[in-house]
Structure formats: C-alpha cells, structure tokens
C-alpha cells in the first residue's frame, strides 16, 4: 500500500504553471523586454533625427529644441523604453554571472536604483525644459 506520488496540493501540475507560472512573476520581464525593444526599433529614427538636428547648437538652441513638445515626447518615450529595457537586461546579466546570493541581491537592488535614477533625472530635465516643472 505504498503511495509513491503523494498529492500535497489540490492543484494540478498544469494549473500551477498556467498564467504566471511557479515563480509567480512568470514571463513578465521577458515580455516587457520585447515590448521595449520593439518600441525602440520604432523610436530609433526619430531619436537619431532629433540628435542630428541638435549638433553644434549652443545651450539656447538645444534648450529650445528639447523643450518643444514633439522632441520632448520622442525623448521621453525613448528614455522610458531604454531605462526599462536596460534594467531588465542588466538583471539577466547579474543572474547569469553573480552566484553569491547576498551579492546578487545587492547587485539587483543597485541595478534598480541606477536605472530608476537615470530615468527620473532625464525625465525631470526634459519636463523642466518643456516648462512643466
């Protein structure tokens, strides 16, 4: 009367991995990495045009252009997509190479701080130039 397969949960194995999966965060980062990647493929040409238009300009010219709505919106979209994308990308790199548990957690935390700080600083600067802050 041995029971080799003791059922500890009422949920089926399929039910456990459906939707968010066993890690409870599932493929969210994988998917967001692709969304932000495609966003930047679309944004690359406008961003290059904006940077090209600003070459050689002095502070007044650059500030005026960065503050114009279309340029500001293009750069804001690019900053959100790129900082989000790089945060996920660096986390993958950390998880691949840093195997010491506490060091890994510290590195992931530092990665979050860095990415968020770069994003917020850049967004603040653009909003200030746009006259909103």
**Any contact of residue 41 with another protein (CB under 8 A)?**
yes
Q: Give CA–CA dist 110/33, Å, rounded.
A: 19
Of 92-111, binders to another protein (CB under 8 A) are: 93
Rounded alpha-carbon distances, angstroms, from residue 31 to 52, 88, 101, 105? 31, 10, 25, 22
Segment interacting with another protein (CB under 8 A) among 3-11, 17-25, 36-44, 101-109: 36-44
**Any contact of residue 45 with another protein (CB under 8 A)?**
no
3-state secondary structure 58-81: CHHHHHHHHHCHHHHHHHHHHHHH
Residue 27 DSSP class: T
Binds another protein by CB under 8 A, chosen from 12, 103, 128, 132: 128
- Residues of this chain that interact with another protein (CB under 8 A) are 34, 37-38, 40-41, 44, 48, 52, 55-56, 58-60, 62-63, 66, 75, 79, 82-83, 86, 89-90, 93, 118, 121-122, 124-126, 128-129
């Amino acid at each position: 009367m041995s029971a080799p397969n003791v059922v500890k949960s009422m949920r089926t194995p399929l039910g456990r991995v459906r939707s968010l999966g066993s890690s409870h965060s599932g493929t969210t980062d994988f998917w967001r990495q692709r969304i932000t990647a495609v966003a930047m493929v679309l944004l690359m040409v406008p961003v290059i045009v904006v940077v090209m238009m600003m070459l050689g300009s002095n502070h007044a010219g650059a500030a005026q252009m960065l503050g114009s709505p279309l340029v500001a919106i293009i750069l804001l979209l690019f900053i959100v997509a790129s900082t989000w994308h790089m945060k996920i990308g660096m986390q993958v790199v950390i998880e691949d190479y840093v195997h010491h548990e506490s060091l890994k957690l510290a590195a992931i935390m530092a990665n979050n701080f860095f990415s968020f700080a770069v994003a917020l600083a850049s967004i603040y600067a653009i909003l200030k130039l746009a006259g909103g802050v």
